[in-house]
Structure 1
């Protein structure tokens, strides 16, 4: 992938922040507010509906890859690893996934990216590019334990610039998360819908990658990703990418280079939820998994819903 016009890229980031126009302001039980947008009655980040509507019209190239997933389930990390796999080099990008974040970037910037592009989105299957099914675009879906996801999501909002900063407590945010009153709505409904779409679109090549699997054995997951997108790698390339592509390495590079995304990379741990959730809150998540994800692939122990 080519390096973008960094001045244009920075302008895009600044404009998205400045143009955030929340359509909804939802208060937690303590009166702290979370500012959201809407898309056909669904909760989204307040980038503006025009940003979301144009994703359907993104013109896909034959070798494009789509990377999707609920916020804070490893999209940044997977995107960076994928970019190294495609280039065959253990080198970090200058922009992270924001350059190809379809609901945020500009069409001009997106078109300036050389193939192969990794087009990222947090949207549901039905809102992704129309050509996706026709071209059978290879799609990667990230997943993470919902307990770690809610903790990471809380810190994500706390780190956001105005007008999107959430100043409430974790307990307040947790209640909004469990009600689905956050960006992209309910975690549980999101993956239930994805499960249905995978079942109903068997011709669509979709690979599920979990945060926990990436942490457990990154070289193994690099090989899985490379095989899925048909990129041959030597053992040496896999090891080099695994070293450079570790979460800690990515966070360090982002921090040293003062990348915009650095503020949203925190610990990158599995099981940190135990330092945040009460026993009652943990049981609430387990109950939601049982109620909403039962019968889906995401209720399988493989996806480590209970850690």
Structure 2
């Protein structure tokens, strides 16, 4: 897909290199040293070690990189934004906590707490005091941006990706909701304009293809460390995928659990239909992620919804772009 070259809002407006911060550098000094891009949605993103991050997240990310102390039993959930993050969090939480909370338990945390409140994002909240075993964390960060302590520990990473067509469309609707609430009079950019910038890689924690490729490669090199999942395969056979996740996390389902329908019950309990209808996930007052209402995380959760926003021609250009970026990796995202 062709990317605009002459739009002033899309040009790098500050570029002094990408050196990582030295101990004696302040955060503001670091910001001044990084390339900046203004998104079509007017947000400023900073290019930090090859990936675009906004200022508030970047400050937390640097603290996370420098100070996080993992435990070998930790499980890190990784996604690009709008790639099934909420669903993955609910499934992993329910699978790993099933001996403590049964599906029939009226006090099950998912009935009263948004999944993002149970599995915190490390780039939005301080993860150092998180409790529970295994500890569960989530992030949109690429592998190269994770702390070295995670890479050298025995903790496990589950990565979930989604077809870029649906990822983009879900992101467009998500950002449209946010901007409409902040400024109802503002004219939101067209899907075509946003798609062009998406294909430039200028999106939150993008370029999206670089993140996908990092975890795909690692999942092949170190399958005991990284489990690579696809949103579409979760939709296609949720039972098999839940078993795969449980085996990977060293909490396999027993034959008795399988015979009793425990996996099926978990899948139904964590389904979009069930979670989206819980009162806690309709709230506009409770916030599990700073500045974002709980209800904003649930829209459709469907495969193929891209057809309702972008044209076939736009989708085909995106497919060609992604195929080029993934060439030689052996990964298909159809």
Instruction: Tell me if TM exceeds 0.5.
Output: yes
Aligned counterpart, 2:42 = 33
Change in Cα spacing, 1:266 to 1:256, as seen in structure 2 (3 Å) is closer
Q: Which runs of 5+ in 2 are unaligned?
A: 1-34, 287-292
Aligned counterpart, 1:226 = 246
Asked if 1 retains the 8 angstrom alpha-carbon contact of 2:46 and 2:54, the reply is yes
Aligned counterpart, 2:87 = 77
Deviation at 1:204, TM superposition (A): 5.2
Out of 203-212 and 251-260, give the one that drifted further.
251-260
Deviation at 1:269, TM superposition (A): 0.1
Aligned counterpart for 1:172 among listed residues 181, 190, 193: 193
Matched, 1:134 2:152: yes
Aligned counterpart, 2:269 = 244
Aligned counterpart, 1:288 = 321
- Corresponding residue pairs, total: 272
Aligned counterpart, 2:116 = 97
Aligned counterpart, 2:205 = 184
Aligned counterpart for 1:212 among listed residues 218, 227, 232: 232
Q: What does residue range 97-176 of structure 1 map to in structure 2 within 5 Å?
A: 97-98=116-117, 100-107=120-127, 110-160=128-178, 162=182, 167-176=188-197
Change in Cα spacing, 1:256 to 1:291, as seen in structure 2 (3 Å) is closer
Matched, 1:276 2:309: yes
The TM-score with structure 2 as length reference comes to 0.74
Q: Which has the larger radius of gyration?
A: 2
- Please identify which structure carries the higher helix content: 1
**How far apart, in 1, do the equivalents of 2:224 and 2:150 lie?**
8
Aligned counterpart for 2:54 among listed residues 45, 63, 88: 45
Out of 280-289 and 137-146, give the one that drifted further.
280-289
Secondary structure of 1:119's counterpart equals strand
Matched, 1:264 2:285: no
Deviation at 1:55, TM superposition (A): 2.1
Q: Which runs of 5+ in 1 are unaligned?
A: 1-22, 300-304
CA deviations 1:59-107 (Å, max 9, x no partner) are: 1112110111211111211011100001113341614235521011124
**How far apart, in 1, do the equivalents of 2:237 and 2:218 lie?**
28
**How far apart, in 2, do the equivalents of 1:190 and 1:38 lie?**
14
The TM-score with structure 1 as length reference comes to 0.80
Asked if 2 retains the 8 angstrom alpha-carbon contact of 1:124 and 1:190, the reply is yes
**How far apart, in 1, do the equivalents of 2:121 and 2:54 lie?**
13
Secondary structure of 1:36's counterpart equals strand
Change in Cα spacing, 1:34 to 1:298, as seen in structure 2 (3 Å) is farther
Deviation at 1:50, TM superposition (A): 1.9
Deviation at 1:203, TM superposition (A): 6.8
